[in-house]
Structure 1
Amino acid sequence: MIGLCLGLAGVVWAQLPISQFTLAWDHTIEKIRWEEDYRVTKQGLVLKEARIRGNGAGMEVPEDARLENGSWHYQRQLPPLQPLRLGRTPEAGDYQLCINGACNFMSRWVGIPTNSQPFIQMWSCETG
């Protein structure tokens, strides 16, 4: 079964047997929520839709975005991401993984963010 792996440089720290998820975080300066919906495929992580609750530093809403329920919704045409690399430090806070509508901080699976390990990667992998 294809699922989601979390780790770094190909070393798996956690495996989740899921086929889709939402990656969510709050912008470090503006404190505005950002969400991205992904589908897990053999080719990598496919971004389906993104949402942002407003404009801010480095957070311009794309021209084709539509306002719906207080968030700007938009889609980007990207190839599958394999891996998706995320910056993760104590100062920036933690990402949330939302699975079936339940959101948990990434630290649930891989520990708290540290300055000695400022990145994490996510990729599709065989789980089992």
Structure 2
Amino acid sequence: MLELCLLAAGATIRLGTVALTLAWTHSIEKTRWEEDWRATPAGLALVEDRIQGTGAGMEPPADAKFDGRWWHYAPHVPPMPNVLLRRSGATDDWQVCIAGQCKPMGAYVPKDADPVTLTTCP
């Protein structure tokens, strides 16, 4: 069975799920951004993006729909083997949301671990 893992500081952290949301606050616009990821046999599939506003490199594509609060769209990218997540310390930590429950990435990996890789578990 497929499962998502985080790789950091030489450790493999099994997340016990096939789908999650990565969320963060844009460093300049201070706007929340969320991405829904799913483990598939072809790799990590980016299912949906949501952003709460526009500006500084966060313009939604032409096919995005606005629901009064969020821009929703399905990115047109093929599945990827992994996603490299950088943690500069200059912004709030990534949020890892599983089944609607969000925790900072530091709840899973050391707070100074950089980079962190999201991937399917080996």
Q: TM-score with structure 2 length normalisation?
A: 0.90
SS in 1 for 2:121: strand
| 4+ residue runs over 6 A deviation | none
Q: Deviations 1:68-115 (Å, cap 9, x if unpaired)?
A: 140000011211121101121211221111111111111100021x3x
SS in 2 for 1:104: strand
- Alignment-derived partner of residue 26 in structure 1: 25
Give the C-alpha shift of residue 8 in structure 1.
Answer: 4.6
Amino acid at match of 2:40: T
Q: How many residues align?
A: 122
Unaligned runs of 5+ in 1: none
- Alignment-derived partner of residue 73 in structure 1: 72
In 2, Cα distance between equivalents of 1:63 and 1:69: 16
SS in 2 for 1:107: helix
In 2, Cα distance between equivalents of 1:109 and 1:44: 22
CA contact (8 A) 2:8 2:114 kept: no
Q: CA RMSD in A?
A: 1.7
Give the C-alpha shift of residue 45 in structure 1.
Answer: 1.1
**How many percent of aligned residue pairs carry the same amino acid?**
43
In 2, Cα distance between equivalents of 1:66 and 1:21: 21
In 2, Cα distance between equivalents of 1:68 and 1:124: 32
Q: TM-score with structure 1 length normalisation?
A: 0.86
Structure 1 or 2: more strand by fraction? 1
